[in-house]
Amino acid sequence: MWDRFVENVVATHQRCPHVRIRFGITVSVFNIAELASMHETLMALGVCDADAFHIHVLQQWEGYSITILPPALKQRFADRLQRRIAALPNNPAISDQLRHVIAHMLGTNRSDLLGKFRDITLDLDRVGGESTAKTCPELAELLA
């Protein structure tokens, strides 16, 4: 699915070079693991300006918020984002947004929702014939 998205972004840029492409990214448990690489990939395409990103954290449903993650996962993801920030010394706008994501994730503990997250996600997987653990392997331990 990601590859298709990237193909569409590139095709849009090639067909409509006059159009300014911007990205609104809502960060949740499902994409926090890939947020740094998502940003890096989209910037490397050369289809947008450095300020083409608006990153915000998911507010509702709290069970899919990055605040439910266990401390070890939070730290792993925070480290990835810190490395991305370090790679962007001349881009304070995106760095500030990534710092906000880290602060939100580390500053709130909603691990009390992990059980509900697991139950609802596994139910939706059964209904849809999908596997979140395969799609988001870093969440597999939370779904066991």
pLDDT tens readout for residues 77-97: 999 999 999 998 788 889 999
CA–CA distance from 75 to each of 20, 44, 66, 78, 86 (Å)?
A: 34, 26, 11, 5, 16
CA dist., res. 144 & res. 125, Å (int)? 13
Beta-carbon contacts of residue 111 (< 8 Å; ≥ 6 apart): 68, 69, 70
Q: What percent of the chain has pLDDT over 90?
A: 83
Largest CA distance in the chain: 48
DSSP assigned state of 45: T
Instruction: Note the pLDDT tens digit of each residue in 103-115.
Output: 999 999 999 999 9
CA dist., res. 51 & res. 37, Å (int)? 17
What string of pLDDT tens digits covers the 144 residues of the chain? 788 999 999 999 999 999 999 999 999 999 999 999 999 999 898 888 878 999 999 999 999 999 999 999 999 999 999 999 999 878 888 999 999 999 999 999 999 999 999 999 999 999 999 999 999 999 999 998
pLDDT, the chain, mean: 93
The answer to whether residues 21 and 48 touch, using CB atoms and an 8 Å cutoff, is yes
What's the token pair of residue 18? Answer: 């006059």
Residue type, 96: D
